[in-house]
């Protein structure tokens, strides 16, 4: 579709630990650096801001006509299948005709095994 502006909304659970939340901020910076999407925003499901509705609002305000919601989660548990899907439906209703699409979580993507082996190779040198 010509004229389409695609946004990425990276979504993490949210934590009381700032260091955990900062991972999502750094991931967004890395995604932005590749210049493949018009807009890249972050949001958290719980505990901290910006919330998912905040992130969706920012994407729309930046002119997005399509928002790819990527869960920074390892599996499709109830947060992804229920909570994030509910947010997707609500934002799609509120911001029609903008399309909100919930992507699969990181899950068992074939490249994840490479990350697992990299972390195993680090052993106890890895900082939690």
Task: Give one DSSP letter per residue of 2-69, joined into a string.
Answer: TT--EEEEEEE---SSHHHHHHHHHHHHHHHHTT-SSEEEEEESSSSSSBHHHHHHHHHHTT-SEEEE
- Write down the pTM of the prediction: 0.90
β-bridge pairing 66-71 and 39-44: unpaired
Q: Provide mean pLDDT across the span 111-128.
A: 83
Torsion of CA 82, 83, 87, 93, to 10 degrees: 30
pLDDT tens digit string along 21-76? 999 999 999 999 999 999 999 999 999 999 999 999 999 999 999 999 999 988 87
Residue 126's pLDDT band, with cuts at 50, 70 and 90, is low
Q: With CA atoms as reference, report the closest residue to 85 among 97, 99, 96, 69.
A: 69
Residue 107's pLDDT band, with cuts at 50, 70 and 90, is confident
Domain boundaries defined on the chain: 6-125
- Per-residue confidence (pLDDT) for residue 62, from 0 to 100: 98
What is the fold, at CATH topology level, of the domain defined by 6-125?
Answer: Rossmann fold (3.40.50)
54 with 43: CB under 8 angstroms? yes
Distances, alpha carbon 51 to alpha carbons 26, 37, 116, 125, in Å: 17, 21, 29, 33
pLDDT beyond 80 at 125: no
């Amino acid at each position: 579709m010509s004229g389409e502006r695609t946004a990425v909304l990276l979504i993490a659970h949210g934590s009381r630990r700032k260091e955990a939340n900062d991972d999502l901020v750094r991931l967004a910076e890395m995604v932005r650096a590749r210049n493949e999407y018009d807009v890249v925003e972050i949001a958290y499901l719980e505990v901290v801001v910006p919330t998912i509705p905040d992130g969706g609002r920012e994407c729309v305000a930046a002119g997005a006509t399509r928002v790819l919601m990527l869960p920074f989660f390892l599996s499709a548990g109830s947060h992804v299948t229920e909570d994030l899907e509910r947010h997707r439906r609500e934002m799609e209703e509120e911001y029609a005709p903008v399309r909100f699409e919930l992507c699969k979580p990181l899950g068992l993507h074939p490249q994840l095994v490479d990350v697992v082996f990299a972390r195993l190779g680090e052993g106890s040198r890895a900082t939690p």
